[in-house]
Amino acid sequence: MKKLNVAIVGATGAVGQEILKVMEERNFPYKNLKLLASSRSAGTQINYQGVNYTVEETTEKSFQGIDLALFAGGPASKAFGREAQKQGVVVIDNSSTFRLEPDVPLIVPEVNAHALQKHQGLIANPNCSTTIMVAALYPLYRYSRIKKIVVSTYQAVSGAGKEAIDELTLQIKQVFEGKPVNPEVFQYQIAFNLIPHIDVWMEENYTKEEMKMVYETQKILEDSEIKITATTVRVPVYRSHSESIYIETEEPISPDLARELLQKAKGIIVQDDPQQNLYPMPLFASEKDEVYVGRIRKDLYEPNALNLWVVSDQIRKGAATNTVQIAEELIKNNLI
The whole-angstrom separation of Cα 73 and Cα 59 is: 15
Q: Taking Cα atoms as reference points, which of 138, 150, 334 lies closest to residue 220? A: 138
DSSP for 206-231, please give it: -BHHHHHHHHHHHHHTT-TT-EEEEE
241 catalytically annotated? yes
The whole-angstrom separation of Cα 14 and Cα 60 is: 23
Specify whether the CB–CB gap between 76 and 63 falls below 8 A: no
114 catalytically annotated? no
Catalytic residue (choose from 114, 119, 197, 241): 241
The whole-angstrom separation of Cα 291 and Cα 129 is: 11
Cβ atoms within 10 Å of 240's Cβ, excluding its own: 29
Q: Taking Cα atoms as reference points, which of 12, 84, 94, 81 lies closest to residue 53? A: 12
Q: Which residues make beta-bridge pairs with 54?
A: 45
The string over 206-237, giving b where at least 16 C-beta atoms fall within 10 Å of a residue's C-beta and e elsewhere, is: bbebbbbbbbbbbbbbeeeebebebbbebbbb
The whole-angstrom separation of Cα 274 and Cα 309 is: 12
Q: Which residues make beta-bridge pairs with 106?
A: 124
Which sequence positions are flagged as catalytic?
128, 241
